[in-house]
Structure 1
Amino acid sequence: MTNAEPDAPRTVVPIDSPLLIAEAFDQAQVTELRHSVTSCAHASGLRGQRLDDFVLAVNELITNAVRHGGGRGWLRVWRQRSALLCEVADHGHGISMQRLNDRSRPAPDTAGGWGLWLARELSDSMEVETGDAGTIVRITTALVPAPQPTHD
């Protein structure tokens, strides 16, 4: 896959749907991106707790990319069938297999280490590809159809 953006990372699998968000970011864009993700997810049909969970999961992933992945990253959000997908990529040195395989909840008094755990807990699925060239994390959240009004 070729890409006009020199720093744009590869994706885990090709994206067939149009991208709703495709942004490079660093620390200065984190808050702005969170607002963009909220608007985009709401417009795609996420509401209530599912919207809050998706936005928090994405925020954790972009914050991780800034803190642990080289100070910057690449965010992509798109809708595919009845799901909203988000992919965050960075150019860090990767995540250890021990860290990836540890699915236990961090201790309550732990200052860090919550990002991947939260993203996994708050999304319907999470995939991670990591190595010396960086990390790509993709989360998926199902779009639950709005309840139809009943006519009595």
Structure 2
Amino acid sequence: MREDQTSPTVEVIGTEVLLTETFDHSSITALRHAVASRAREGGLAGDRLDDFVVAVNELLTNAVRHGGGLGRVALWRQDGDVVCEVSDSGAGLSGPRPTIRPATDQPGGWGLWLAEELTDTFRLETGNGGTTVRVSSRVSLSDS
């Protein structure tokens, strides 16, 4: 190696945008397929990919159903994770978010719980201006 060349000691950390889109009810199915494809490109595979897609689908559905009918999704790869953020401009959550598993016979209320259970990280911000949920799943060494 020449003197003016250095060997990197760590991998460069960066962000790779995989998808960003505004959506409504009519685009959820196509968007779910796009999320699956882009998350696979980002390095998720197998059960981790399936779980991530289910979690994001729950967030997309919640944004439309409870957040005013329109949402925004962004998907990116960062530091070995595939990250997804779903936002809406609804009135926000009306009360505290339940943190325990819903009753098995409960017809609704599963979306946020599932999204948290099926991903490695979960962050929710809500208020009068809407709700934003960010989830991520780690790309395992065997998946990358």
Scaled by the length of structure 2, the TM-score of the pair is 0.87
How big is each residue's C-alpha offset from its partner over 1:81-126, in whole Å with a ceiling of 9 and x where there is no partner?
A: 100000000011001342x2x2111111111100000000000011
Alignment partners' CA distance in 2, 1:72 and 1:123: 23
Please tell me whether the aligned partners of residues 43 and 143 of structure 2 are also in contact (alpha carbons under 8 angstroms). Answer: no
Q: Flag the structure with larger Rg.
A: 2
Distance in 2, Cα, partners of 1:68 & 1:50? 27
Alignment coverage as a number of residue pairs: 131
Deviation at 1:147?
Answer: 7.2
Instruction: Report the identity percentage.
Output: 51
Q: Name which of 102, 108, 115 aligns with 1:106.
A: 102
Equivalents in 2 of 1:36, 1:107: separation in Å? 31
Trace 1:113-128 onto structure 2 (pairs within 5 A): 113-128=109-124
Cα distance in 1 for partners of 2:100, 2:116 equals 11
Report the TM-score when normalising by structure 1.
Answer: 0.82
Answer whether contact 2:44 2:143 (CA < 8 A) is retained.
no
- Quick one: which amino acid aligns to residue 49 of structure 1? D
The within-5 A match list for 1:2-151 is 17-98=15-96, 100=97, 102-146=98-142
Considering only aligned residues, what root-mean-square deviation do their CA atoms show, in Å? 1.5
Q: What stretches of structure 2 of length at least 5 have no aligned partner?
A: 1-13
Amino acid at match of 1:91: S
> In the alignment, residue 38 of structure 1 is paired with which amino acid?
A
Partner of 1:10: none
Please state how far the C-alpha of 1:146 moved relative to its aligned partner. 1.6
CA distance in 1, matches of 2:143, 2:52: 20
Distance 2:42 2:143 in 1: 15
Give ranges in structure 1 of 5+ residues lacking alignment. 1-15
